[in-house]
């Protein structure tokens, strides 16, 4: 599944999730698009503002590496970060507090999880992150044991409900690298897995100012 377009005549060493094309005629419409090269963007948008990275909604541009290397590196990294940040914004995280939540709330959470069309779960040594329908439910296994519940039984029940059940010793390295490189918490691993193994219509129209992208911090651990 492709998550963004990059229009360039040069080869790029980035994730296959990006649709690398030489012409705007070959982009996937609805996806965020980065145009590389002054001449290219100038031919397409003669009235564009050279001082702004944003050309129009969901369309951005930067210089070629041989035109302005520093600017090229900065803008390309910003665009990649933006694409993943925007995808993560579409997903809501809920921590399942088995101490604070009463039985009614916990029952509703269980029903919600069971209603998901597809469930992808990531199991670490002390947490389970359950993803479905743009939600992630975080379950602290230490709290499960603390309140006297059977940890193994809970894990097995979630495993049976899950279409995909990932664990630390099985998770594909690329997904850990995604969250590490992008500064996202591990809880987003099942969501990243889901969007890269499902044909969803992913769009990204939120504009993050280029000047602030390096200090932009949406997520808390």
Q: What is the pLDDT of residues 21-79, one digit of tens each?
A: 999 999 999 999 999 999 999 999 999 999 999 999 999 999 999 999 999 999 999 99
pLDDT (average), residues 186-201: 74
Backbone angles phi, psi at 159, to 5 degrees: -60, -40
Residue 5 forms beta bridges with which residues?
Answer: 19, 33
Cα dist from 184 to 21, 57, 188, 216, whole Å: 28, 25, 7, 11
**Sign of CA pseudo-dihedral 43, 14, 181, 24:** positive
Burial pattern 186-198, b for ≥16 Cβ within 10 A else e, equals bbbbbbbbbbbee
- Residue 198 is classified by DSSP as S
pLDDT score, position 169: 65
Q: Tokens 């099985």 label which residue?
A: 170
Note if the pTM is more than 0.85: no
Query: Confidence class of residue 204 from pLDDT cuts 50, 70 and 90?
Result: very low
Cα(57)–Cα(174) distance, integer angstroms? 30
User: Which of 7, 11, 182 lies closest to 80, judged by CA?
Assistant: 182
- 196: its two tokens: 């890269």
Cα(39)–Cα(49) distance, integer angstroms? 13
- Which residues contact residue 67 at a Cβ distance below 8 angstroms, ignoring those fewer than 6 apart? 37, 38
Q: Tokens 């044909």 label which residue?
A: 199
pLDDT score, position 176: 72
Contact between 150 and 158 under an 8 Å Cβ cutoff? The reply is no
Q: For 129-172, write each residue's pLDDT tens digit.
A: 999 998 999 999 999 999 999 999 999 999 999 999 988 766 66
């Amino acid at each position: 599944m492709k998550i963004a377009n990059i229009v360039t005549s040069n080869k790029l060493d980035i994730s296959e999730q990006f649709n690398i094309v030489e012409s705007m005629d070959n982009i996937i419409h609805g996806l965020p698009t980065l145009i590389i090269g002054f001449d290219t963007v100038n031919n397409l948008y003669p009235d564009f503002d050279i001082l702004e990275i944003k050309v129009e909604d969901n369309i951005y541009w930067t210089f070629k590496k041989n035109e302005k290397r520093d600017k090229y590196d900065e803008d390309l990294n910003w665009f990649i970060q933006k694409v993943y940040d925007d995808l993560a914004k579409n997903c809501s995280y809920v921590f399942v507090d088995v101490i604070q939540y009463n039985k009614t709330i916990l029952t509703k959470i269980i029903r919600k999880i069971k209603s998901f069309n597809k469930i992808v779960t990531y199991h670490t040594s002390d947490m389970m992150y359950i993803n479905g329908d743009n939600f992630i439910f975080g379950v602290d296994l230490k709290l499960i044991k603390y309140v006297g519940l059977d940890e193994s039984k809970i894990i097995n029940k979630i495993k049976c409900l899950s279409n995909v059940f990932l664990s630390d010793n099985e998770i594909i390295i690329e997904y850990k690298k995604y969250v590490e490189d992008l500064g996202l918490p591990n809880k987003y691993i099942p969501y990243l897995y889901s969007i890269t193994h499902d044909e969803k219509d992913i769009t990204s129209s939120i504009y993050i100012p280029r000047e602030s992208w390096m200090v932009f911090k949406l997520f808390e651990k």
